[in-house]
Amino acid sequence: LKENNNEATTKQNIWDTRGTTISYNARRNRKNYARQNNLKLRIKELESQLQNTPKDHRLQYQMIVTKHKLNLLEQEGMITKLTAARQIYFEQANKPGRWLSY
């Protein structure tokens, strides 16, 4: 709250905005996890169907597409985790060396 020097913004408005942001992120994360779980279940179903009919090209194509979609979702998650790790590293970098410069 120290950074927000705007007199027109109330503390209640800030806390309401925080709550809205948290609920939005939670909903988005639940949606992404549900999508990943659905894709994993679909892959298992396709694998069992492919065991029964291994030469079905339609099932093979669906398996490739489903795995690709799952891979894209996992890559998006890894990008956000990598960005967060870089930010934390940047914020915490070389703090012990700072004391040696004085």
Show me where the domains of the chain are located.
9-94
What pLDDT, on a 0 to 100 scale, did the predictor assign at position 2? Answer: 62
What pLDDT, on a 0 to 100 scale, did the predictor assign at position 39? Answer: 98
CB within 8 Å of 77: residues ≥ 6 apart: 32
Helix, strand, coil shares, percent, the chain, to 5: 80, 0, 20
* Residue bearing the bigger pLDDT, 95 or 27: 27
pTM for the model: 0.72
What pLDDT, on a 0 to 100 scale, did the predictor assign at position 10? Answer: 84
Q: What is the pLDDT of residues 29-88, one digit of tens each?
A: 999 999 999 999 999 999 999 999 999 999 999 999 999 999 999 999 999 999 999 988
CB within 8 Å of 40: residues ≥ 6 apart: 70
Q: Report in angstroms the alpha-carbon separations of 97 from 40, 45, 86, 92.
A: 47, 55, 19, 11
Q: What is the CA radius of gyration of the chain?
A: 23
